[in-house]
């Protein structure tokens, strides 16, 4: 059989250890599919003493991960350090400059610096592979870039963060508040000690920026993604959503519109009958819609050692077989220059929850503000009465613009009878 393909792996955390374990446990399958044995020859990690559950006795160590790029013992560099700058960026640049293939699971690096890295890889004729950067073990990059290559994609959307999906699922099933469920998620290891990247929507936005670039054949543009997280979602909103026939999910949505490419991450009301509404716990799911294939959905575990390692090794096998395509699906000269659509131009229906003083004339003030901004109300819910006290009132609207809705909320929030900042959640069609 051919000479083994040698990997240099930077980062031996959960995913790095998972890659080593997969290559050891499934060595025969990997060799058969790669056409040659695949071995880890050199690694770089901060702690050499930690037990990672795999045998590292025959593996060389280097202290500086960037040294892997020039190390003659490596054919492919696998970057699993994480972060959009620092050693991860330096290693990516050095690997491409050295003319070696780069495999990464680093969504932040690609979302923020992917345009430059893709251009450098194209110029150097070097593969840059990143199946593991989005949705863990779900092969969504290959599906969009290769399986749907003959389609004009109109929309890609999904549940892209398992931590948020777990929190919202438990809040719905157990009727508990956000802070309490977040603490449980941290104790279980589903959320980091500092959960900001997850619960503020940044992690999902990194992934959506990558998906949008591939789906619409243009350079990645993280700065154009509108980002909101789930900190403001209350048990009260989840209860009202159920009553109205919806479930609340943190969605990443990219769509081709007349004004350009719209890309947004935010909590959304999704009809219970929709496929995405039934994706619970730590699972991820991605829906794509092409002009010839129609809609399709991929679902699975979006994180963890096994699923992410599976995606990393699939990229290694592709490179071993000489299978790789341009980073965003087409050469840089063939990429689209379609602009990004402004969030203010988004058109859709909205859920609005207000904590109102229970007094005569209050509802009239609210509906007058909606009328003045051209917003048509579809339904209203009010449960119980408490004269002189705060009561929740829920309104849903027909389709309107984000610009109009924000104007109306600004006026409504300034009313003396509105006792808390209004809660706004967009309603997404199935």
Cβ-based neighbour number of residue 381 at 10 Å: 13
As a whole number of angstroms, the distance between CA 376 and CA 215 comes to 34
Q: Could you give the 3-state DSSP secondary structure of residue 271?
A: strand
Q: Look up residue 203 and give its two tokens.
A: 């992690």
Annotated active-site residue 207? The verdict is: yes
DSSP 105-172: --HHHHHHHHHHHHHHHHHHT--EE-GGGSSTTS-HHHIIIIITTTS-EEEEEEE--HHHHHHHHHHH
Measuring CA to CA, how many Å separate 79 from each of 66, 91, 256, 269, 383?
A: 10, 8, 32, 37, 54
Name the β-bridge partners of 347.
401
Measuring CA to CA, how many Å separate 134 from each of 18, 205, 232?
A: 17, 11, 25
**Element holding 34 (H helix, E strand):** helix 27-34
Half-sphere exposure of 27 toward its Cβ, with a 13 Å CA cutoff? 10
Non-local CB neighbours of 152 within 8 Å, separated by 6+ positions: 290, 291
Q: Could you give the 3-state DSSP secondary structure of residue 251?
A: strand
Name the β-bridge partners of 19.
none
Residue 301 dihedral angles phi and psi, to the nearest 5°: -75, 125
Nearest-5° angle of CA 338, CA 341, CA 343? 165
- Check: CB of residue 373 under 8 Å from CB of residue 412: no
- Which residue is catalytic, options 100, 107, 207, 249? 207
Measuring CA to CA, how many Å separate 10 from each of 20, 66, 400?
A: 12, 8, 49
Q: What residues are annotated to the active site?
A: 207
């Amino acid at each position: 059989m051919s000479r083994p393909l040698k990997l240099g792996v930077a980062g031996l955390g959960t995913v790095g250890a998972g890659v080593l374990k997969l290559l050891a446990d499934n060595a025969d399958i990997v060799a058969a599919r790669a056409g040659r044995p695949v071995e880890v020859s050199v690694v770089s990690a901060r702690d050499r003493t930690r037990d990672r559950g795999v045998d590292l006795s025959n593996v060389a160590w280097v202290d500086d991960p960037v040294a892997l790029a020039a190390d003659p013992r490596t054919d492919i560099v696998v970057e699993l350090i994480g972060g959009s700058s620092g050693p991860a960026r330096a290693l990516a640049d050095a690997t491409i400059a050295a003319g070696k293939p780069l495999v990464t699971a680093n969504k932040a690096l690609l979302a923020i610096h992917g345009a430059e890295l893709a251009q450098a890889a194209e110029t150097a004729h070097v593969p840059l592979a990143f199946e593991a950067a989005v949705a863990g073990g779900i092969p969504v990059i290959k599906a969009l870039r290769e399986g749907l290559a003959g389609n004009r994609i109109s929309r890609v959307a999904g549940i892209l963060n398992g931590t948020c999906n777990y929190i919202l699922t438990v809040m719905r099933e157990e009727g508990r508040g956000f802070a309490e469920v977040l603490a449980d998620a941290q104790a279980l290891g589903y959320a980091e000690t500092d959960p900001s990247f997850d619960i503020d929507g940044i992690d999902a936005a990194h992934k959506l920026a990558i998906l949008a670039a591939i789906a619409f054949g243009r350079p990645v543009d993280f700065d154009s993604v509108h980002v909101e997280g789930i900190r403001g979602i209350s048990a009260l909103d989840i209860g009202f959503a159920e009553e109205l026939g919806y479930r609340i999910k943190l969605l990443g949505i990219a769509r081709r519109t007349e004004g350009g490419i719209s890309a947004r991450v935010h909590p959304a009301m999704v009809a219970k009958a929709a496929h995405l509404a039934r994706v619970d716990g730590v699972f991820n799911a991605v829906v794509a819609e092409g002009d010839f294939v129609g809609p399709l959905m991929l679902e699975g575990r979006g994180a963890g050692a096994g699923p992410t390692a599976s995606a990393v090794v699939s990229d290694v096998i592709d490179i071993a077989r000489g299978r790789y395509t341009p980073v965003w699906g087409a050469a840089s000269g063939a990429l689209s220059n379609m602009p990004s659509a402004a969030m203010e131009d988004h058109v859709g229906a909205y859920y609005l929850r207000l904590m109102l003083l229970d007094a005569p004339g209050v509802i009239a003030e609210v509906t007058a503000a909606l009328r003045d901004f051209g917003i048509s109300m579809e339904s209203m819910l009010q449960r119980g009465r408490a004269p002189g006290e705060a009561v929740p009132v829920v309104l849903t609207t027909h389709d309107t613009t984000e610009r109009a809705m924000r104007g109306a909320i600004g006026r409504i929030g300034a009313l003396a009878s509105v006792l808390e900042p209004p809660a706004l959640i967009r309603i997404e069609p199935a």
